């Protein structure tokens, strides 16, 4: 019979996965032709699959560890692809969506698959010694499955912070602020499992905090998508005798404003 903790684990992951799937659909339906919307939608779709697969593996482990580990492998793959896809989306925000080409996406996808293979070989479902099941605490597996993907999300967070610091348009700044908070909560959720490995407290605490953080992240970014930046007026050129004073943003500022003012 399934233990109380494993049942809680399964329900929590599955509910979070369903919420993430709904958010993914909303992202795409807002403007399905825009690449930025497609990237965020794909990222959260991978995220929802990862959460769902992780919840399912705790349910099926009582019938077959072999099947449970298949679900765990898919959980690892989709989780890593989620981190990489969100990183690519942040690149699109900072540098412009036109800079995100298929070569970059192919290279990062291959890297994600390689990480997934090494992660799956070093992270699996096993008995916890208390009548239930857990995933292993192999540090090489954690590095591939959690730490390196977390670095991708952190890198994306840094790009969003740099974008936020450069913007002057208040509405655009507010939009990026929500994206930044969303990325931050995802990183926080990943850190909960690092803390869980080194701090001896109830296993419910860090799991609950991680799930809350991982649900909050997509919700905050979705809120940001619904903030429409106001259009910045064209630069005003004031001519005086013998001089021309151009009151314009610098080129990088103009580029950032134009990217974020296009409705998503």
Structure tokens at 134: 């857990």
pLDDT of residue 242: 47
- Tens of pLDDT, residue by residue, the chain (264 residues): 789 989 998 999 999 999 999 999 998 888 888 898 899 999 999 999 999 999 999 999 999 999 999 999 999 999 999 999 999 999 999 998 888 899 999 999 999 999 999 999 999 899 988 888 988 878 888 889 988 998 999 999 999 999 999 988 888 899 999 999 999 998 888 888 777 778 778 878 888 998 999 899 989 988 988 887 765 555 555 544 444 444 444 555 555 555 554 545
Structural domain containing residue 208: 4-261
Closest to 39 in 3D by CA, of 108, 104, 85, 75: 85
pLDDT of residue 27: 86
Number of structural domains (the chain) is 1
Task: Give long-range contacts, CB 8 A cutoff, 24+ apart: 211-216.
Answer: 211/12, 211/13, 211/16, 213/185, 213/186, 213/188, 213/189, 214/16, 214/20, 214/47, 214/51, 214/185, 214/186, 214/189, 215/16, 215/19, 215/20, 216/182, 216/185
Task: Please report which residue ranges of the chain form alpha helices under DSSP H.
Answer: 4-30, 35-60, 65-95, 102-121, 139-142, 148-166, 170-198, 203-225, 251-261
pLDDT of residue 31: 83
Q: Domain with 179 in it: what CATH number? A: 1.20.1070.10
């Amino acid at each position: 019979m399934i233990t109380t903790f494993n049942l809680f684990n399964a329900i929590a992951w599955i509910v979070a996965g369903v919420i993430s799937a709904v958010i993914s659909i909303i992202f795409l339906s807002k403007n399905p032709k825009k690449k930025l919307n497609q990237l965020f939608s794909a990222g959260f779709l991978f995220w929802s699959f990862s959460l769902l697969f992780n919840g399912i593996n705790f349910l099926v482990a009582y019938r077959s560890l072999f099947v449970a580990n298949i679900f765990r492998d898919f959980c690892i793959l989709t989780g890593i692809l989620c981190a990489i896809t969100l990183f690519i989306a942040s690149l699109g925000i900072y540098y412009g969506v036109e800079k995100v080409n298929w070569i970059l996406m192919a290279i990062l996808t291959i890297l994600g698959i390689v990480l997934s293979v090494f992660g799956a070989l070093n992270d699996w479902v096993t008995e916890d010694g208390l009548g239930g099941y857990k995933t292993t605490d192999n540090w090489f597996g954690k590095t591939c499955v959690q730490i390196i993907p977390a670095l991708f999300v952190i890198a994306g967070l840094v790009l969003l912070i740099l974008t936020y610091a450069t913007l002057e348009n208040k509405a655009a700044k507010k939009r990026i602020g929500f994206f930044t908070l969303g990325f931050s909560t995802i990183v926080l959720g990943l850190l909960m499992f690092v803390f869980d490995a080194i701090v001896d407290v109830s296993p419910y605490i860090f799991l609950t905090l991680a799930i809350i953080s991982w649900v909050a992240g997509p919700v905050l970014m979705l809120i940001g998508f619904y903030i429409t930046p106001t259009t910045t007026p064209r630069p005003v050129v004031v001519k005086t005798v013998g001089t021309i004073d151009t009151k314009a943003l610098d080129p990088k500022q103009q580029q950032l404003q134009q990217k974020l003012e296009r409705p998503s």
